[in-house]
Copies of this chain bind each other. A is one copy, B any other.
């Protein structure tokens, strides 16, 4: 059995062939469904850096396959570790590969475990979602961001029978919400409403959001959570309006070596992403740009963190320690 080709949902972000790995090119979705083939660690690292493949758990799986393709060369670890700095799943996967005897078996296990963890998080998280809930999510923490099924979107998929609907924020500058989450929800037959990122506050103030569920790129020991830029404002607004704010992430996303969110490195991406979108540029010459790809949501704003090992509620540091023990 080829584990990468047995995703729980129809979406296959990563296809593993033993001597190569294919990534569904997420830069082109939903306009075009095509794969990029990588045959060595350099090509995998480039696919991660250029966001052909993205999403913390998916990056972890991709890096593991990259190591296999280079037969565990020191270069493979080096180039993959340098691809993107924030998602800890990457470093976690490289650590597992370093300790493994059978590289191919270990990479396939990382992939299969991620899929299973998403299913388990879906089951656990669905208990938190009310009937007919209007669920807001940000970026794409879906099948595309993982081995398959998804973290936040896994929780949403597992809640489908409750007749929920989804509000997806578009997630500038890369538009993962508008392009990827919206596409996954349409495929799944779950009603989805697209908004720009700055509309979340208005909808919350009008009572149009029942719950927020997002993924994570790195969770510190105290529960502070780095996730896609724009997550922190959603958490602040949800808190103001008494709306539950949930994070869904596998245990590979926790970094217990980091005490709080202050110590999580935040990637700054290229200026061009903010100056426009793809071939369209709308900003004038002469402007500076900031492009932090992630922000940090303090644990105090998070109602609960859904992990495949259970649900961590405040006091979060203690709950996380107990779950991951």
Q: 1/0 contact trace for A193-215 toward B, CB 8 Å?
A: 11111111111010000000000
Closest 8 CB pairs of A and B: A198-B230, A172-B196, A201-B233, A202-B295, A30-B284, A186-B286, A197-B198, A193-B288
Q: 1/0 contact trace for A142-184 toward B, CB 8 Å?
A: 0000000000000000000000000111111101001100110
Measured between alpha carbons, how far is A167 from B288 in the docked complex, in Å? 9
Contacts A193-B289, A233-B237 known; A280 to B283 CB distance under 8 Å?
A: no
Residues of chain B with a CB closer than 8 A to A199's CB: 229-230, 290-292, 295
Contacts A172-B172, A198-B233, A199-B229 known; A193 to B287 CB distance under 8 Å?
A: yes
A27 CB, min distance to chain B CBs, angstroms: 11
Residues of chain B with a CB closer than 8 A to A236's CB: 201, 233, 236-237, 240
Residues of chain B with a CB closer than 8 A to A167's CB: 290
Closest to A275 in B: B194
Q: Chain A interface: which size bin? A: 35 or more
Measured between alpha carbons, how far is A230 from B169 in the docked complex, in Å? 13
Closest to A297 in B: B201
A267 CB, min distance to chain B CBs, angstroms: 12
Interface of A toward B, CB cutoff 8 Å: 30-31, 167-173, 175, 178-179, 182-183, 185-186, 191-203, 205, 229-230, 232-233, 236-237, 240, 266, 274-275, 277-280, 282-292, 295-296
Q: Are A175 and B288 in contact (CB under 8 A)?
A: no
Q: Are A277 and B277 in contact (CB under 8 A)?
A: yes
20 contacts between A and B (CB under 8 A): A30-B284, A167-B290, A170-B283, A178-B282, A179-B282, A186-B284, A193-B287, A194-B275, A195-B289, A198-B230, A199-B292, A199-B295, A200-B233, A201-B233, A201-B295, A202-B229, A202-B266, A205-B295, A233-B233, A279-B280
Q: Are B292 and A202 in contact (CB under 8 A)?
A: yes
Q: Are B229 and A287 in contact (CB under 8 A)?
A: no
A296 CB, min distance to chain B CBs, angstroms: 7
Contacts A230-B198, A280-B277 known; A290 to B205 CB distance under 8 Å?
A: no
